[in-house]
Amino acid sequence: MTDFPDSHRDLLDAPVAAFSTVGADGIPQSTLVWFLHEDGELKLSLNNSRVKYRNLLKRPHCSLLLLDPNSQYRYLEVRGQVRIDPDDDYVFAGRVGAKYGADVREYDAPGTSRVMVTIEPTRVYPVDMTG
């Protein structure tokens, strides 16, 4: 569990986040993702056929950028390592889907499965340039 700064705790409920992994070529790969702040941790549901999942298997490092939806000058960046747990029964994916009013199974091709990715922060950068 990570203590996120009080000044930026509201961003833990942001609608989406930019999730970056390191590709095989060493270049960052970024995607907008749905996420949950649950039990003091930031967690994602990923399909096991996606590039970001394969990137994490090779290099379990990431960055999650939470932008204030009301100000481009305020954000929270969380850098860290990940822990990957199977979610074959879609229990965690169901909780993510509930937050966003969607059934994530609709986005998955037959024969694929889901994992829960938990970010274990090594650095947390709260930025506020609003003055």
Averaged pLDDT, 44-64:
97
Work out how many domains the chain is built from and give that number. 1
* The 28-33 sheet, strands edge to edge: 28-33, 17-22, 61-67, 74-86, 114-128, 41-47, 36-38
In a domain, 108, yes or no: yes
In a domain, 84, yes or no: yes
Query: Residues 5-42: pLDDT tens digits?
Result: 999 999 999 999 999 999 999 999 999 999 999 999 99
- Indicate whether 80 pLDDT > 80: yes
> Tokens representing 66?
């939470």
The CATH number of the domain holding residue 13 is 2.30.110.10
Query: Residues 95-125: pLDDT tens digits?
Result: 999 999 999 999 999 999 999 999 999 999 9
In a domain, 18, yes or no: yes
Determine the structural domain holding residue 70 and report its residue range. 6-128
